[in-house]
């Protein structure tokens, strides 16, 4: 009973916060400068990581680029240097703990402990819409992305609990991206996203310090619906969304 009374006392604050959020929708967010900042990008030798590196190079960040693919990493670095950025490259296997720790000695400022000490920095987690809403036949993928979203949320709360206000967090949650990772994806939410579109939204989210970036924005609404709608209705809704992609090896798809 006491908990319910406490909730009722919070109702005026809820109204104020909702009004504040509504007003902010119509106020352009100020973009912060990252000129001269150290920017560590993993997976920088291809795809989203490479395009993100190009955008930070244009903004004159000091780039520390990691990838297991040396050739791809060197190509990215060359383009970034051509854009006027200072670039440092390391061939790193991000699945190898010792490899990460060895490289970390050369890029200490890129990590959380240093950020917390200086109360300055920004940690970006690349997750997926599959980190909020499950997709059949993508069990391992969705599980890893749920973990990434959980990492982002918990880290955000821990920084708040420690009153470390200068370290920001952002989590990217896009729909299928046209990178070839998943073959021929399609949904009723729209066509597969182009990497350039995703990176543009990501950069805007980082520079305006958004906590969660959903692409398309309708995914945010779907995550709310999944928590409040009956399971039977959700099953119908998921059929309407009609997620399709080429069969995953090891699964036998039923004929349509």
Strands 62-67 and 87-91: parallel
Q: In this structure, what are the phi and psi dihedrals at residue 220, rounded to the nearest 5 degrees?
A: -60, -40
pTM for the full model? 0.81
Banded pLDDT at 101 (limits 50, 70, 90): low
Rounded to whole angstroms, the Cα distance separating 116 from 113 reads: 5
Answer yes or no: are the C-beta atoms of 67 and 44 closer than 8 Å.
Answer: yes
Measured distance between the N- and C-terminal CA atoms of the chain, rounded to whole angstroms = 52
Rounded to whole angstroms, the Cα distance separating 97 from 105 reads: 13
Per the model's pLDDT, the better-predicted residue between 103 and 38 turns out to be 38
Answer yes or no: are the C-beta atoms of 137 and 183 closer than 8 Å.
Answer: no
pLDDT in tens, 120-139: 999 999 999 999 988 888 88
DSSP 187: B
What residues are annotated to the active site? 141
Answer yes or no: are the C-beta atoms of 37 and 59 closer than 8 Å.
Answer: no
Please, what are the domains in the chain?
Answer: 32-241 (3.40.50.720)
Answer yes or no: are the C-beta atoms of 169 and 155 closer than 8 Å.
Answer: yes
pLDDT of residue 247: 56
Per the model's pLDDT, the better-predicted residue between 94 and 114 turns out to be 114
């Amino acid at each position: 009973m006491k908990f319910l009374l406490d909730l009722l006392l919070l109702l005026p604050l809820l109204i104020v916060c909702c009004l504040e959020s509504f007003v902010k929708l119509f106020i352009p967010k100020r973009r912060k400068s990252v000129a001269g900042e150290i920017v560590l990008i993993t997976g920088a030798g291809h795809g989203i990581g490479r395009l993100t590196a190009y955008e930070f190079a244009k903004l004159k960040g000091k780039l520390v680029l990691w990838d297991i693919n040396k050739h791809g990493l060197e190509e990215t670095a060359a383009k970034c240097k051509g854009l006027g950025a200072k670039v440092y490259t390391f061939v790193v296997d991000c699945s190898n703990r010792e490899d990460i720790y060895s490289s970390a000695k050369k890029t200490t400022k890129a990590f959380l402990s240093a950020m917390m000490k200086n109360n300055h920095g920004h940690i970006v987690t690349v997750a997926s819409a599959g980190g909020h809403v499950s997709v059949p036949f993508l069990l391992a993928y969705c599980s890893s992305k749920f973990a990434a979203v959980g990492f982002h949320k918990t880290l955000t709360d821990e920084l708040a609990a420690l009153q470390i206000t200068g370290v920001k967090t952002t989590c990217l949650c896009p729909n299928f991206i046209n990178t070839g990772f998943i073959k021929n994806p399609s949904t009723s939410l729209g066509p597969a996203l182009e990497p350039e579109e995703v990176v543009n939204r990501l950069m805007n989210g980082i520079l305006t310090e958004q906590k969660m970036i959903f692409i398309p924005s309708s995914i945010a609404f779907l995550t709310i619906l999944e928590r409040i709608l009956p399971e039977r209705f959700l099953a119908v809704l998921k059929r309407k969304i009609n997620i399709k992609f080429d069969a995953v090896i090891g699964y036998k798809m039923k004929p349509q």
